Structure 1
């Protein structure tokens, strides 16, 4: 048991270790109206992480839950855009009620991770999502992204200080 207690901090550190795509991520640029943010988003590109390895055709859907939290339903096609569907359901809660741009998300147990809406279109047609360490980044659109939208979002992420060479484009039908 003592060995397990000694190993726990190392295991937790290993979970957060890894390259940072933005060593000094900015604060979110705009407030978020949660009702307008809810709904389906298509992933344009991401920093590739273990939990999304091999995912294509990725979408995220946000809706309100009876308990006041936000339901998060992530869907991906494993291996190819027509591959088997994999879903992950989680929950989110707002932690910065002044802007609603900083949330915590949990997909299992008592473990919560940061989810910051770093920037968004005025009409909520696109969003850039990251968090305080700069290790995670997602570029999202409301409809299937065009090449022009992908380029514009990538340029915006670069302007926010992110290493866009680390972005992995997401394939869709």
Structure 2
């Protein structure tokens, strides 16, 4: 798969949104209760490509029409490289970010999509919490429910472009139990 570089206006929007995400970086849930994460994530088994099955809308994904993926790989510095990609009406676009675990469970990550020269600033980092996950018999994660502790953003992810209805509905149930408003949650086309 080849990717085109995002347009300058899209890049500017991503940087601006990252700066604004500092407002959401502190885990201040809108309903007063922080969501519950899984007890542990084994990062080695979490790395790799994920397909977005559904999400709550977010402005920097507005141009994504289908084939949304996130690919995680370990960097030499021990942090996680995050490559988000999607198809738009003009082709493919992608953005690179960096994540790191905030506690020993590895279920709570901080992610930044700021350019490398700005990543040391105390802005532009958002929380990414793993709320539920499933594994295959080898222990590799096969699907996950991920959200932000302020309940604004939520994703259902799968290792394959499709996810069975039972798992999808179970994840939505877990999201509701954790206080997420799902009226705007939409499925993501994978073609």
Which TM-score applies when normalising by structure 2?
Answer: 0.73
Cα offsets for 1:34-56 (capped at 9, x unmatched): 00100010101111111100312
Q: Secondary structure at the match of 2:171?
A: helix
Aligned to 1:94: 101
Q: 1:1-173 to 2 correspondence within 5 Å?
A: 12=20, 16=24, 23=31, 24-55=33-64, 56-79=66-89, 84-97=91-104, 99-108=105-114, 109-110=118-119, 111-123=124-136, 124-146=141-163, 148=165, 149-173=167-191
In structure 2, stretches of 5+ residues that fail to align are 1-18
Moved over 2 A (4+): 11-16, 20-25, 149-161
Deviation at 1:14, TM superposition (A): 10
What is the alpha-carbon distance in structure 2 between the residues aligned to residue 26 and residue 52 of structure 1? 23
The CA deviation at 1:155 is 3.1
2: CA distance, partners of 1:41 / 1:168: 17
TM-score (norm: length of structure 1): 0.80
- Structure 1: give runs of 5+ residues left out of the alignment: 1-10
Q: CA RMSD in A?
A: 2.5
SS at 2:183 equivalent: helix
Q: 1:131: how far off?
A: 1.8
Give the 3-state SS of the residue equivalent to 2:151 in structure 1: coil
Distance 1:39 1:22 in 2: 31
Deviations 1:73-94 (A, max 9, x none): 0010014xxx510101011011
Q: Closer, same or farther in 2 for the Cα pair 1:132/1:164, shift >3 Å?
A: same
